[in-house]
Amino acid sequence: MQPTPDPAASAVLAVVFLPFVAAAFVPLVYRALGERTAYYAAAVALACFGLVASQYGTHGTVSFPWIPSLGVSVSFYVDGLSLLIGFLASGVGVLILTYSGGYMHGEPGQPKYYAALLAFMGSMLGVAFAADLIALFVFWELTSLSSFILIGHYQRQKSSQYAARKSMLITVSGGLFMLVGFLLLHAVTGEFSIVYMLENPEFVQEQLRAEGLFLPVLGLVGVGAAAKSAQVPLHIWLPNAMEAPTPVSAFLHSATMVKAGVYLLGRFRPVLVSHEWELAFAILGLTTMTVAAILAVGATDIKELLAYSTASHLGLIVAGFGFVSELGGETGAFHIINHATFKAALFLVAGIVAHEAGTRKIDNLGGLKDDLPITAGIAVVASLGMAGVPPFNGFYSKELLFEAAWEAAHAAGGGLAYLYPAVAVFGSVFTFLYSIKFLMLFFGEKPTGLHKVHSPPKAMLAPPLLLGVLAGLVSIGGLLGTFDIHFAPFDDFVTEVWAATVPPGADLHGGFSYYIPDHVTPALAMSAVTIALGAAAYPFYDRLHRGVNAITDVNFLRANWYYDSTVFGVNDFSDTTAATVQNGLLRTYATWAMASVAALALAGYVASGVALPDFSGFAVTIPLALVLGVAIVGAVAVSIAPSHISGVLTLSILGFMVAVFYVLASAPDLALTQLVVETLLLVIFLLVLDKLPAFYGNAGRGKMIRDGVLSAVVGATVFVTVLVSTAATPDAPLADYFRDPALTVDQAGGHNIVNVILVDFRAFDTMGEIAVVAMAALSVLTLVAMRERGETQ
C-alpha cells in the first residue's frame, strides 16, 4: 500500500476530549439555551465529525507522554477501522442529537441526558482511537457507565432501573473479562501497545501459544466483545435497554456501543486469527444471528423487534470476522457500515411511529404510509436492506457472508462444516421475515382504534431521511457496480477498513468493490433460497410468532430466566445474610467481625505458607516476667468480673501493666502514650457506664461457650500474628538507622527518635492518621445529630 501521512496529533486528541469538555458545560449551556441545548450538542458532534474527517486518509500512531519516567503515554491509533467507528460515533451522533431536539421536547432531565450522550460519544471515540490496552479498557467501561445513565433515563420507573442495572452488570463484567485478557497479553508480550501487537501479529501469537495462553486470551477478549455486542447468551440486556428514549436506542444500540464489541474483534482479528478463532466466533456469530432473528419474530413491540434484529446483525458481523479467509474481514467491515445506516434509520422511524401514533405494539399498527409518506419511504429502503433483498445495501454484505461461509465449509473439507452456510441461510430466512413484518407497519389496512397520525417535526424527520438516503446511496453504488461504475472514495475507504482487520500482507484481491453478480454463484443461490423461503413462510407469520412465544415461555430455555434467578437469588441470599449478621445486637456484630477477621488472617497465613519461628527459650528478665504475670491475672479477672465497672477497672490493670512493660523495654515514649490513652479510655468508659445497667444478666451456656471459643481463636490469631510478623526482623534493625545522630539530630533536629519519625521522616503518614481521627469525630457527630433529627430509618 502507498505510504499515508501521519495523523495530526492535536486533531486526534481534540476529537476524543472535546465531547467530555462539552459535556461538562452542558448544565451551564442548558441554563442559557433550554431545550435548544440539543443543537449545541449536535454542533459539538459535528465538530468531532469534522475532526475525524480531517484525519481521513491518514494512518499511524499519535502519542502524548504522560508519565515519562514510567514509560506511560496516552496514545491513539488511526487506521480505517478506527476512522469508521469514529465516523459512526460522531456522524450518527450529530443526527441523533438533532433528532433529540424534537423527540425530547418537554421531557424531564434534559441536561443530564445531553451531558451523558456527549460523554458517551467521547468514550466511544476513545474506544475507536485508543492505541493502548489500558486506555481502551478505560474508555470501554466509560461507554458502559454512560449508557447506564442513558438507559436508566426514566429513573423512577422500575423497568428502567432493571434495564439499566442489567446492561451495566453484563457489559461491565464482560469488560472485566477483557481486562484480564489484556493483562495476560501484557504479561506475555511486555507491551500495552496495541500498535506493537498489530505490527508483530505472528510473533505475538507464537509467544501466546508458547506460554499456553492463546486460548485463555482468545476466550477472555471474546467474552468482553460478546457482552458488549449482545451475543447469545449475553444478548439479554439489549431488548431491555429499549427502555431508554428512542434516540438513545438508535445511537447506542445500533450504531455505536454495540459496535464496540465487533470493533474489538476487528481490532484483534489480525493478531489472533487462527483455526480456533474461526471455530469460536463463526459459531458464536451464526448462533446469535439465528437465535436473535427467531426471537425478533416473537417480538410484539417494534423497538423489541429492532433490538433483537440488532443482536442478530451483530451476530452476522461477528460471524464475518470469525471466518479466517479475507472474505470474513470484508464481510464484517462492510456490514458494520450497512447495519449502522439502515438500523439507525429504522430506530428513528420507530421513534417517529411511537411518538406520533402513541403505541409501539405491532398488532395496533398498520397502514401508516398515507399519514407518514416520507417515513414510509425511509422504512422501505432500510427494511429491505435489513432483509437482504437485492439491490438494497444489506444484500451485498450478506452475500459476502454467504460466500465466506461457503468457502470456510469448502476449506474445512465439507461434512459438518456445511452447517456454516446452512445456518446462515436458516437465520437469514427469519431476518427476512421480521424485516417484512416491520415494513408492513406502513402498508395494508389501518387497524381500528388508530387515530389520524400527525407528521413529525422537521428535526425528527431530517436525521432518518439522511440515513435512509445514505443507505440508498450505498444500494445504488451496488447497482452501478454491476455496470462497472464504481464510486472510488467509498470503495477505498471500505478497503482501508478491511485492511485493518486482516494480518499485514494479506491478499485483498485488488481492493473492495461490490455489485450484483451476473452469473449464478453459491452465494447468490443461497440468497435466492433465503428470499424464496421467507416469502413462502410470510403468510404463516402469526403462527410462527405464537410458536416462538410458546417456546420462550418455557423458563429454562430463556437466558433471561437464568439472569433473573441469579440476580434475585443473590438478592435473597444477601437479605438473609444481612438479617443474620446485622441483627442490631452489638454482640452479634462483634462476633461476626472478629470471627471473620480471625478466619481471614489465619487463612492468609496458611495460604502463603508462613513458617512459625523456632522456639529459642525464654529470654525474659524477672521484672518483665512479673509485670506480664500481673497482666495475665488482670486479663483473667476481666473475664470473671461481676459488673461492668469492675470489668473496666480490671481491664485497665492490664493496660497499665503493658505500659510498665514498655518502660522496662526502654520505650518511654510508647509507655507514656499507653498510660495517657489508658487513662482516657478508663475515663470515657466510666462516663458511658454511668448510664448502663450494672450487668446484662446471665447469658446462656451455649452463648458462653461460643464466646469463649471465639475469644480463644482471636487470641490465637493475634499470637500467631505477633510471632510471624516479628520473626522477619532484619539483621540490622531499623532502629540503628534512626539512632544515627547524624540523621536525627543534624537533619531533623530532634533527639526523640519516635517523634522524629512521626513528624519528619513519616510525616505524610501522620498527616493521613490525623485526617482519619478528624473524620472519625465528624462521623460520630453526624451519626448522633442525624439520629436526633430522626433522619435514620
Partner 1 sequence: MSTVIARTVTRTVVPIILVTAVALLLQGHNLPGGGFIGGVLTVTAFALIYIIYGLDYLEEELLHQNRETIIESLQHGIVENYQIAFGVGLAVAAVSGLVPLLFGGNFLLQDHWYTPALPVYGELHVASALAFDLGVYFVVVGSLLTILAVVGSE
Q: Does residue 756 touch partner 1 according to CB under 8 A?
A: yes
- Measure the CA angle with vertex 519, ends 484 and 333; round to 5°: 60
Nearest to residue 474, comparing CAs of 549, 377, 395?
395
Nearest to 434 by CA among 284, 537, 318, 360: 537
| Binding of residue 289 to partner 1 (CB under 8 A) | no
Q: Would you say 276 and 215 are in contact if contact means Cβ atoms under 8 Å apart?
A: yes
Q: Which amino acid is at 469?
A: V
Q: Which residues, in sequence order, are bridge partners of residue 77? A: 61
Selected from 9, 187, 411, 784, the binder of partner 1 by CB under 8 A is 784
Backbone angles phi, psi at 65, to 5 degrees: -65, 140
- Residue 227 gets which letter from DSSP? H
CB of 750 to partner 1, least distance (A): 4
Look at strands 60-67 and 72-78 and give their pairing. antiparallel
Closer by beta carbon to partner 1, 78 or else 757: 757
Burial status of residue 335 (CB atoms within 10 A of its CB: 0-12, 13-18, 19 or more): buried
Is 694 near partner 1 (CB under 8 A)? no
In whole angstroms, the minimum distance from the beta carbon of 684 to partner 1 comes to: 6
Q: Is residue 748 a contact residue for partner 1 (CB under 8 A)?
A: yes
What gap in Å lies between CA 24 and CA 453, rounded to an integer?
Answer: 38
CA distance 328 to 311: 18
**Taking CB under 8 A as the rule, does residue 759 contact partner 1?**
yes
Is residue 676 within the footprint of partner 1 (CB under 8 A)? yes
Give alpha helix (H) positions in 501-585.
Answer: 522-537, 541-552, 559-581
CB of 507 to partner 1, least distance (A): 60
Assess 692 for contact with partner 1 (CB under 8 A): no
The dihedral formed by the CA atoms of 174, 552, 312 and 475, expressed in degrees to the nearest 10: -150
Question: With binding defined as CB under 8 A, does residue 776 bind partner 1?
Answer: yes
Q: How far is the CB of 673 from partner 1 (least distance, A)?
A: 5
777 contributes a contact to partner 1 by CB under 8 A: yes
Q: Residue 693 interacts with partner 1 (CB under 8 A)?
A: no
Is residue 597 part of the contact set for partner 1 (CB under 8 A)? no
Site for partner 1 in 325-354 (CB under 8 A): none
- Residue 589 or residue 719: which is nearer to partner 1 going by CB? 589
Nearer to partner 1, 188 or 743 (CB): 743
Report yes or no: 513 and 431 within 8 Å, Cβ to Cβ: no
Distance CA 165, CA 159 (A): 10
Instruction: Output the smallest distance, CB 777 to partner 1, in A.
Output: 4
Rule CB under 8 A: which of 166-185 touch partner 1?
A: none
Among 53, 673, 714, 720, binds partner 1 (CB under 8 A): 673
In the complex, least distance from residue 737 CB atom to partner 1, rounded to whole angstroms = 17
Residues 36, 39, 41, CA angle at the centre, nearest 5°?
A: 110
Count of H-run helices and E-run strands, the chain: 33, 2
Q: CA-to-CA distance for 368 and 357, rounded, in angstroms? A: 9
Residue 752 within binding range of partner 1, rule CB under 8 A: yes
- Choosing from 700, 789, 791, 793, the residue that interacts with partner 1 (CB under 8 A) is 789
Q: Is 740 in the site for partner 1 (CB under 8 A)?
A: no
Strand partners, 193: 132
For partner 1, which is the closer residue by CB, 483 or 764? Answer: 764
Nearer to partner 1, 191 or 760 (CB): 760
The binder of partner 1 chosen from 33, 620, 665, 780 (CB under 8 A): 780
Q: Does 680 bind partner 1 (CB under 8 A)?
A: yes
Grid-cell match 430522626, residue found: 790
Name the helix (H) or strand (E) containing 721: helix 701-727
Instruction: Name 74's bridge partners.
Output: 64
CB of 650 to partner 1, least distance (A): 19
Which of these segments, 515-523, 556-564, 604-612, 686-694, binds partner 1 (CB under 8 A)? 686-694
**C-beta closer to partner 1: residue 588 or 752:** 752
Q: Does 366 bind partner 1 (CB under 8 A)?
A: no
Question: Any contact of residue 491 with partner 1 (CB under 8 A)?
Answer: no
C-alpha cell at 156: 423512577
Which residue's CB is nearer to partner 1, number 24 or number 778? 778
CB of 670 to partner 1, least distance (A): 9
Cα–Cα distance for residue pair 768/740, rounded to 1 Å: 27
Nearer to partner 1, 455 or 766 (CB): 766
> Residue 421 in contact with residue 402, Cβ under 8 Å?
yes
The radius of gyration of the chain's CA atoms, rounded to the nearest angstrom, is 34
Residue span binding partner 1 (CB under 8 A) among the ranges 94-102, 299-307, 351-359, 784-792 = 784-792
Q: Which of 158, 275, 451, 691 binds partner 1 (CB under 8 A)?
A: 691
Residue 598 to residue 412: CA distance in whole angstroms: 58
**Residue written as grid cell 508462613:** 610
Question: Which of residues 81, 688, 717, 722 is near partner 1 by CB under 8 A?
Answer: 688
Q: Is 749 in the site for partner 1 (CB under 8 A)?
A: yes
Largest CA distance in the chain: 107
Q: Does 684 bind partner 1 (CB under 8 A)?
A: yes
Binders of partner 1 among 94-153, rule CB under 8 A? none
Site membership for partner 1, residue 768 (CB under 8 A): no
Q: Choose which of 199, 491, 564, 760 interacts with partner 1 (CB under 8 A).
A: 760
Residue choice 21, 535, 625, 774 for contact with partner 1 (CB under 8 A): 774
Distances (CA, A) of 86 to 90, 118, 596, 781: 6, 14, 50, 51
Query: Given CA atoms 389, 390, 391, 394 in this order, what sign does their dihedral have?
Result: positive
Quick one: which of 148, 81, 138 has its CA closest to 330? 81
Mapped onto helix, strand or coil, the DSSP state of residue 77 is strand
Cell of 719: 499470637
| Dist. CA 192–CA 182, nearest whole Å | 8
Q: What is the DSSP letter of 729?
A: -
Residue from 788, 791, 792, 793 that binds partner 1 (CB under 8 A)?
788
Q: Which of 485, 683, 692, 727 binds partner 1 (CB under 8 A)?
A: 683
The binder of partner 1 chosen from 485, 636, 686, 712 (CB under 8 A): 686
Contact mark string toward partner 1, 633..672, x via CB under 8 A = -----------------------------------xx-xx
Q: Which stretch binds partner 1 (CB under 8 A): 50-58, 317-325, 372-380, 744-752?
A: 744-752
Question: Which residues of the shown chain bind partner 1 in the complex (CB under 8 A)?
Answer: 668-669, 671-673, 676-677, 679-680, 683-684, 686-688, 691, 748-752, 754-756, 758-760, 763-764, 766-767, 770-771, 773-774, 776-778, 780-781, 784-785, 788-789
